[in-house]
Amino acid sequence: MTLRRNSKPLRIGGLTIGGSSPIRIQSMTKTDTRDVAATINQIRRLEEYGCEIIRCAVPDMEAAEALGVIKRSIHIPLIADIHFDYRLALASLKAGVDGLRLNPGNLRNLEQIAAVVQAAKERETPIRIGVNAGSLPPSFEGDSGPQRMVAAAKEQINFLEALDFDLIKVSLKAFDIPQTIAAYRAIAQDTPYPLHLGITEAGLPFEGSIRSALGIGILLWEGIGDTIRVSLTADPVLEVQAGYEILKCLNLREYGPTLVSCPTCGRAEIDLLPIADEVRGHLKGIRKPLKVALCACVVNGPGEARCADVGLAGGKRKGAIFRKGKVVKVTDEDKLAEALREEIDQI
Ligand code: SF4
């Protein structure tokens, strides 16, 4: 991994992003923001799974006004997602949000943007310039995809800086991964502001997680990125879980359990799949880092199990259970899941 890009730290509510802060996990609510109770419930559930920043869509004035109650009922920074109508940004700021996301593709009137920037400045509220390949300003149509995205972001950065505003974060999201990577690489060279990473409209959980892991992962590996969101057509809890998996895969954050399990093959001496499924279910509520390794035979089993907090090495319809590198039990195949649960609970 290359050294992390030295971005300008930025406060969003009670949280610092950028600089040497941990890479933060972000998600977006999928409820109707005007349904305050449902939105608060969803955010609280996301908080339980480690979501650190939440964004809500603001389609109309009722949604903007709802943000005040939502903000007072949650514990993580709240971002208002604004498109088309600058008055929604002003109302969201008035409601007390911790940040705005403005899309330069559909908020083009400079006087209106200036009014939003002035109000954000008075409240010291940051603005994310959130470029999306699907809604680029028409003025950059001649350039390639990444060039257009970077140009759109830079135009807005320059405008905000000219208004003496630097509480800025930038994102350049596209569905196409090479395009996204090229755009972020270019902007990372060109601006000190923290970058929010994401692959837009990435898809259903299986495809979307792979796309996001590749796009976000490659950039993070290059030291680019300060916050991430995995965009999935799914329960947003999965977005948060996928986000942490990406950070854990690159050793960028420790969070919750890590399950190592062998794919099984013709050497397998126990039926690992139901055991792995059961253990994964049991790990769900755990937030502390914990490594569990499950292997179905003695080829890699003892080695992997010894390196984990709790491990299993299968053999001849039995299995050896390891805790912190030592065998603590050998038991029959039908009791292995229970024995693993017990060891996990003890840790
Ligand atoms: S640990 Fe054993 S069963 Fe699992 S994949 Fe390797 S050789 Fe096959």
**CA of residue 264 to ligand 1 center, whole Å:** 5
- Outline where the chain has alpha helix (H): 36-48, 61-72, 86-95, 110-123, 145-162, 177-190, 205-221, 236-249, 272-283, 301-306, 336-346
- The tens digit of pLDDT for each residue in 331-344 reads 999 999 999 999 99
Gap between the Cα atoms of 129 and 4, Å rounded:
21
Q: Which residue has the higher pLDDT, 24 or 298?
A: 24
CB-based burial label for 176 (10 Å; 0-12, 13-18, 19+): middle
Partners of 81 in beta bridges = 57, 101
Q: Which of 271, 275, 297, 306 to mutate for ligand 1's pocket (most ligand atoms within 8 Å of CB)?
A: 297
Residues 237 and 340 in one domain: no
Non-local (6+) Cβ contacts of 312 within 8 A are 275, 293, 294, 295, 301, 305, 319, 320, 321, 322, 336, 340
| Max intra-chain CA distance, the chain | 74
The answer to whether residue 4 is domain-embedded is: no
Q: Which atom of ligand 1 is nearest to the CA of 266?
A: 8
**CA of residue 266 to ligand 1 center, whole Å:** 8
**End-to-end alpha carbon distance in the chain:** 32
**CA of residue 204 to ligand 1 center, whole Å:** 30
238-260 average pLDDT score = 95
- The tens digit of pLDDT for each residue in 135-173 reads 887 776 666 788 999 999 999 999 999 999 999 999 999
Residue-wise burial string across 246-276, b where 16 or more C-beta atoms lie within 10 A, e elsewhere: bbbeeebbebbbbebbbebeeebbbebeebb
Residues 121 and 216 in one domain: yes
Residue-wise burial string across 6-20, b where 16 or more C-beta atoms lie within 10 A, e elsewhere: ebbebbbbebbbbee
Please say which residue of 233, 249, 265 terminates a domain. 249
pLDDT confidence of 203, banded at 50, 70, 90? very high
267-280 average pLDDT score = 96
Gap between the Cα atoms of 78 and 165, Å rounded:
20
Is the confidence at residue 1, as pLDDT, over 80? no
Residues 28 and 118 in one domain: yes
Residues 201 and 334 in one domain: no
pLDDT confidence of 33, banded at 50, 70, 90? very high
- Residue pair 198/219 in contact by the 8 Å Cβ criterion: no
* Location of structure tokens 């059961």: 278
Name the residue with the closest Cα to ligand 1, atom 4. 264
The answer to whether residue 145 is domain-embedded is: yes
- Structural domain that includes position 129: 10-249
**CA of residue 282 to ligand 1 center, whole Å:** 23
Rounded (10°) CA dihedral 56, 60, 64, 69: -80
248-266 average pLDDT score = 94
Is the confidence at residue 37, as pLDDT, over 90? yes
Please give the single-letter amino acid code of residue 227.
T
- Residue pair 66/33 in contact by the 8 Å Cβ criterion: yes
- Residue pair 315/300 in contact by the 8 Å Cβ criterion: no
Q: Which atom of ligand 1 is nearest to the CA of 263?
A: 5
Q: Which atom of ligand 1 is nearest to the CA of 296?
A: 3
pLDDT of residue 60: 97
**CA of residue 301 to ligand 1 center, whole Å:** 7
pLDDT of residue 143: 66
DSSP class of 174: B
Is the confidence at residue 198, as pLDDT, over 70? yes
Residues 154 and 266 in one domain: no
**CA of residue 321 to ligand 1 center, whole Å:** 16
The answer to whether residue 320 is domain-embedded is: yes
Residues 91 and 114 in one domain: yes
Is the confidence at residue 308, as pLDDT, over 80? yes
Please say which residue of 230, 249, 268 terminates a domain. 249
pTM value is: 0.93
pLDDT of residue 301: 83
The answer to whether residue 30 is domain-embedded is: yes
pLDDT of residue 35: 98
Residues 183 and 308 in one domain: no
The answer to whether residue 3 is domain-embedded is: no
Residues 65 and 133 in one domain: yes
**CA of residue 260 to ligand 1 center, whole Å:** 12
* Total domain count, the chain: 2
Q: Which of 273, 294, 295 to mutate for ligand 1's pocket (most ligand atoms within 8 Å of CB)?
A: 295
Please say which residue of 201, 219, 249 terminates a domain. 249
Q: Which of 260, 261, 262 to mutate for ligand 1's pocket (most ligand atoms within 8 Å of CB)?
A: 262
The answer to whether residue 125 is domain-embedded is: yes
- The tens digit of pLDDT for each residue in 61-87 reads 999 999 999 999 999 999 999 999 999
pLDDT of residue 63: 98
The tokens for 21 are 């802060």
**CA of residue 99 to ligand 1 center, whole Å:** 49
Q: Give residue ranges with CB within 6 A of ligand 1.
A: 262-265, 267-268, 295-297, 299-301
Residues 211 and 329 in one domain: no
The answer to whether residue 161 is domain-embedded is: yes
DSSP letters along 252-295, please? S---SEEEEE----TT--S-HHHHHHHHHHHHTT--S-EEEEEE
Residues 149 and 75 in one domain: yes
Residues 67 and 193 in one domain: yes
Residues 321 and 200 in one domain: no
Q: Which of 261, 299, 306, 317 to mutate for ligand 1's pocket (most ligand atoms within 8 Å of CB)?
A: 299
Instruction: Report the CATH number that the domain containing residue 178 is assigned in CATH.
Output: 3.20.20.20
Name the residue with the closest Cα to ligand 1, atom 5. 264
Instruction: Report the CATH number that the domain containing residue 269 is assigned in CATH.
Output: 3.30.413.10
Residue 158 three-state SS: helix
- The tens digit of pLDDT for each residue in 176-196 reads 999 999 999 999 999 999 999
Q: Which residue has the higher pLDDT, 208 or 1?
A: 208
Q: Which atom of ligand 1 is nearest to the CA of 300?
A: 1
Mean pLDDT for all residues in the chain: 94
